[in-house]
Chains A and B, each alone.
Chain A
Amino acid sequence: MANRQTTERTMRGLFFVIATASIGILFLIMLFLFREGLPIFKTVSVKDFIFGKYWYPTSDPPDFGIFSLIVASVAVTAVSGAMAVPLGVMTAIYLSEIAMPRVSQIVKPVVELLAALPSVVIGFFGMVLVAPFLQRVFDLPTGLNLFNASLMLAFMSIPTICSISEDAIHSVPGALREASVALGATQLQTIVRVVVPASLSGISTAVILGLSRAVGETMVVLMVAGGAAMLPGSLFDPVRPMPASIAAEMAEAPIGSEHYYALFATGIVLFFFTLLFNIVADTIAHRYAQVGEASL
């Protein structure tokens, strides 16, 4: 008897320790980002690093200002969000409110497969097919630009937005819908006035997580965004978002050089961007948790 009680306590402790592994890894990630990123601030002030307009890490003397990279990341995310949010949420509404079960059984796997497409394949698609197409249609100097990258990113964040929104919409109690329909509302009125407001916290979480995915996505912006480290003047200017800069230059930056530290510092900024998005999403999900009828 005593023996299996000991086993019981040991297992419980062991599982607890392993469950904290995620926090441990997160902590290690932060630790190493700071360890390798902070030394750059010996040469550049934090303000000059974040608001500096010139990113010439390999010229002599080098310039380490990532403002144009930050603006590029924000712009790409915003434009892709403008496409992905309506499409993702509308697909979610369609799947959980309108589609026949047989249709949604086919569409749901399609969305999942879209999510499973490797980012490098989407980047490659944007590069070899969408870019020449855009260049021809809009008569541009290059098809690798902000718009193309946003379009490709939109298709990477739609599945995230769609599946999380769908869960939220699905969990709205049927009684709410029935009450609305019984009062004489049409199905669309029920969706717009009852179902969507009731699941708004879940939908917001979905949108934020989708945007967070777009901010951090690397291969697409690396291959499709054009790579020019300058402030974009129009939708069709080439840009260089933060992940693209890190991925493209890390191979050439000798370990321990200023350039290496600067790229890790860019990683810190990127990390905090997504951390912020995730904490906001988490707060919304918990504070405005959907609990049955009480959520209206």
Chain B
Amino acid sequence: MMKSLPVSDMTEKNTVGETIAAPKVQAVSMPTAHDRFPGVSPAYDRRRRLVQNIFFGLFRGAAAINGIALLVIIYFMVANGWRAISWDFLTQPPMDSMTKGGILPCIVGTLCLSIGAIVVALPIGIASAIYLKEYARPGKVVRLIRLGINNLAGVPSVVFGLFGLAFFVVILKMGVSIAAGALTLGAMSLPVIIGSTEEALKSVPDTYREASLGLGATKWQTIWRVVLPSAMPGILTGAILGISRAAGETAPIMFTGAVFFTPKLPTSIFNEVMALPYHIYVLATAGTAIEKTRHLQYGTAIVLIVLVLGMNLLAIIWRARLRKKLQ
């Protein structure tokens, strides 16, 4: 696609064109017609317009590929898996060494793990963001904290899994459990929560703070009574995104919270659970009947997609409405 238009060729011509055009443009005070520039030779103008159209087409195509990819993935999942979805599929445990039955324990497990993760990450994340936005002054300390957050965001998910295994499972003796998995996922979602909370705090106008401080309130009183209530919808949007991300992660829970198979529903946070993403992985790669359980794999994938994308859509719509309100 790109070959038809070598970039070097274009820039060369443009350079030539501009050096010729520049002095003449200076002589004319204002372009008269909105789409024509006096002083630019018509041939050159036609050519650069053509180049622009071709490149804009490419940019448009690049953007379209994202949409197509999303549609293709979702289409194939739904087309192949919708038959597997039924009331029994959602409310029964797996049966016959996971070749039949439903995925109830996986749904429950994923909900436990991701809600647990947010319970861990939300308070710490909100407090960190409040410090960074409301208290801290720019300087070395803040730079260091931000470096920490950015690097934490960049840690590979499987490394979080290793950390959770060594620390929560082995050293703290939690075993493979909801607690260990949720703590690991919580550590991983912390940067997301901090980022979205800061964003929400930034959107609270400074006049609110000034009014409160001017009435004699202390900084903490201002934050607690004025800033947080106005920022709360934005913070909750971030929390939803955090939950959805935690729900879709596999690598961090592989060694810390999720197991191959357990028909029982969890009764305490120290129980091990099944989880949707891990269930897909297990059925698709390690089962004895990979081909036979294909429909179960698609079905589980659909449930996971609906869960994750549903939460995301909710957050996106909610955020859009908030922005409109602020304007």
Residues of A within 8 A of B (CB): 4-5, 7-8, 11-12, 14-16, 18-23, 25-26, 28-29, 32-33, 35-36, 86-87, 90-91, 93-95, 98-99, 107, 109-114, 116-125, 127-129, 155, 158-159, 162, 183-189, 192, 209, 212-213, 215-219, 222-223, 243, 246-247, 250-251, 255, 263-264, 267, 270-271, 274-275, 277-279, 281-282, 286
Q: Are A16 and B157 in contact (CB under 8 A)?
A: no
Bound Cα distance from A121 to B156, whole angstroms: 18
Within 8 A of A (CB), among B112-171: 124, 127-128, 130-132, 134-136, 143-145, 147-163, 165-167, 170-171
Q: Are B62 and A250 in contact (CB under 8 A)?
A: no
Shortest C-beta distance, A289 to chain B (Å), equals 12
Shortest C-beta distance, B20 to chain A (Å), equals 11
Bound Cα distance from A270 to B158, whole angstroms: 9
Q: Are A118 and B67 in contact (CB under 8 A)?
A: no
Bound Cα distance from A12 to B255, whole angstroms: 37
Q: Are A279 and B157 in contact (CB under 8 A)?
A: no
Count chain B residues whose beta carbon lies closer than 8 angstroms to a beta carbon of A.
Answer: 97
State which of B95-103, B214-222, B227-235, B261-269 sits at the interface with chain A: B214-222
How many residue pairs bridge A and B at CB < 8 Å? 276
Bound Cα distance from A222 to B280, whole angstroms: 13
Q: Which residue of A lies closest to B121 (CB)?
A: A21
Among B70, B73, B244, B277: residue with most chain A CB under 10 A: B73
Bound Cα distance from A271 to B247, whole angstroms: 23
State which of B44-52, B83-91, B203-211 sits at the interface with chain A: B44-52
Residue of A20, A189, A278 touching B154 (CB-CB under 8 A): A278
| CB within 8 Å for A7 and B159 given contacts A21-B128, A119-B248 | no
| CB within 8 Å for A223 and B281 given contacts A188-B48, A218-B156 | yes
Residue of A8, A118, A155 touching B249 (CB-CB under 8 A): A118
Residue of B124, B131, B166, B248 touching A116 (CB-CB under 8 A): B248
Q: Which residues of B contact A243 (CB under 8 A)?
A: 156, 158, 251
Bound Cα distance from A192 to B254, whole angstroms: 45
Q: Which residues of A contact B132 (CB under 8 A)?
A: 19
Shortest C-beta distance, A285 to chain B (Å), equals 9
Q: Are B156 and A120 in contact (CB under 8 A)?
A: no
Q: Which residues of B contact A18 (CB under 8 A)?
A: 124, 127-128, 131
Shortest C-beta distance, B22 to chain A (Å), equals 7
Give the 6 A-B CB pairs with smallest separation, nearest first: A216-B156, A118-B248, A23-B148, A90-B62, A19-B131, A188-B52
Q: Are A35 and B60 in contact (CB under 8 A)?
A: no
Bound Cα distance from A250 to B176, whole angstroms: 13
The verdict on B69 contacting chain A, using a C-beta distance below 8 Å, is yes
Bound Cα distance from A239 to B241, whole angstroms: 33
| CB within 8 Å for A94 and B62 given contacts A29-B163, A129-B76 | yes
Q: Which residues of B contact A33 (CB under 8 A)?
A: 159, 162-163, 166
The verdict on B66 contacting chain A, using a C-beta distance below 8 Å, is yes
Bound Cα distance from A18 to B136, whole angstroms: 13
Q: Which residues of B contact A110 (CB under 8 A)?
A: 66-67, 70
Q: Are B155 and A216 in contact (CB under 8 A)?
A: yes
Shortest C-beta distance, A10 to chain B (Å), equals 9
Bound Cα distance from A90 to B57, whole angstroms: 11
Q: Which residues of B contact A192 (CB under 8 A)?
A: 11
Shortest C-beta distance, A125 to chain B (Å), equals 5
Q: Are B131 and A124 in contact (CB under 8 A)?
A: no
Q: Which residues of B contact A91 (CB under 8 A)?
A: 59, 62-63, 65-66
Q: Are B218 and A7 in contact (CB under 8 A)?
A: yes
Shortest C-beta distance, A267 to chain B (Å), equals 5
| CB within 8 Å for A8 and B156 given contacts A87-B62, A118-B305, A188-B52 | no
Bound Cα distance from A86 to B144, whole angstroms: 32
| CB within 8 Å for A121 and B218 given contacts A246-B162, A250-B254, A270-B158 | no
Q: Which residues of A contact B305 (CB under 8 A)?
A: 117-118, 121
Q: Are B152 and A15 in contact (CB under 8 A)?
A: no
Shortest C-beta distance, A101 to chain B (Å), equals 13
